């Protein structure tokens, strides 16, 4: 930790076996866990809480002030879980007192180069965010999500677990769990069956999820009628209830199924 070409504020709390490479700057009120590697030319500002065995690559700026005109300098944080990789030139802004007061990225995540994570975003565990994705403020991304490169996500959007979003997408509405989403406007593009199998879901469980989404997107029912039919016709399960609760709790509205007129 006695790196002569890095600036480390004396009040920063850094594990003894963490590595800070030359020309990085670490402000006060920062905590960095065991085994974490901070590459050269990284800036870690006040309020950063970085877990164990993380890797942060050159040019990243962690816990800068929010780009929000309502922010008045109040103390807030960025929390990054264990084993998460932050690639080159990623920017992660800390939270605001008007919302969660923190921006959070879970464990075992990969945040690729040039991603921006705005204030008060909450990202779950094992999430992959590909190059140049732009996340506006107040977004929630649940576990095991993959977001393709150059995607832009509008503020307050919620993305359900095990979802895969195609590259170059514009995400204006909530994206429910277990699906693939693509096209313009962003639409349902099937079940994320490959991802689910990789995570141990059985064929029977995947078929159950497919049946739920057939009712929601392919039966010609509005969402309220489809959700009632799902609860009436299909037996309770964790996945059924997760999907139903996601739709019923959505505040922005949920993406819809693809129809041929969308291609016009």
What are the catalytic residues? 119-120, 137
DSSP state of 175: B
d(CA 147, CA 192): 13
Cβ contacts of residue 256 below 8 Å, gap of 6+? Answer: 187, 188, 217
> Which residues are CB-contacts of 13 (< 8 A; sequence separation ≥ 6)?
30, 31, 32
Kindly tell me the burial class for residue 123, based on how many C-beta atoms sit within 10 Å of its own C-beta (0-12, 13-18, 19 or more): buried
Q: Take residue 91 and report the two structure tokens written for it.
A: 């920017």
Residues 217 and 17: their CA atoms lie apart, in Å, by: 52
Task: Work out whether strand 170-171 and strand 13-14 pair parallel, antiparallel, or are unpaired.
Answer: unpaired
Please provide residue 216's backbone torsions phi and psi, each rounded to the nearest 5 degrees. Answer: -70, -40
């Amino acid at each position: 930790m006695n790196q002569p070409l890095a600036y480390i504020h004396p009040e920063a709390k850094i594990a003894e076996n963490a590595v800070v490479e030359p020309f990085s700057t670490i402000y006060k009120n920062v905590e960095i866990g065991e085994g974490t590697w901070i590459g050269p030319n990284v800036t870690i500002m006040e309020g950063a809480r970085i877990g164990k065995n993380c890797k942060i690559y050159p040019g990243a700026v962690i816990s800068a002030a929010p780009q929000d005109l309502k922010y008045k300098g109040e103390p807030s944080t960025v929390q990054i879980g264990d084993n998460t990789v932050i690639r080159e030139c990623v920017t992660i802004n800390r939270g605001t007192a008007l919302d969660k007061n923190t921006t959070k990225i879970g464990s075992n995540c990969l945040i690729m180069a040039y991603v921006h994570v705005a204030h008060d975003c909450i990202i779950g565990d094992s999430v992959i965010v590909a190059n140049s994705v732009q996340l506006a403020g107040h977004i929630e991304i649940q576990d095991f999500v993959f977001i393709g490169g150059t995607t832009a996500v509008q503020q307050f959007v919620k993305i359900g677990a095990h979802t895969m979003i195609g590259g170059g997408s514009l995400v204006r509405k909530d994206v429910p769990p277990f699906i693939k989403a693509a096209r313009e406007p962003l639409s349902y593009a099937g079940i994320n069956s490959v991802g689910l199998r990789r995570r141990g879901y059985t064929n029977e469980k995947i078929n159950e999820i497919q049946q739920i989404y057939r009712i929601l997107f392919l039966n010609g029912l509005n969402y309220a009628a489809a959700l009632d039919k799902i609860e009436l016709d299909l037996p309770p399960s964790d996945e059924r209830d997760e999907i139903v609760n996601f739709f019923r709790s959505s505040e922005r509205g949920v993406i819809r199924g693809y129809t041929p007129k969308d291609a016009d």
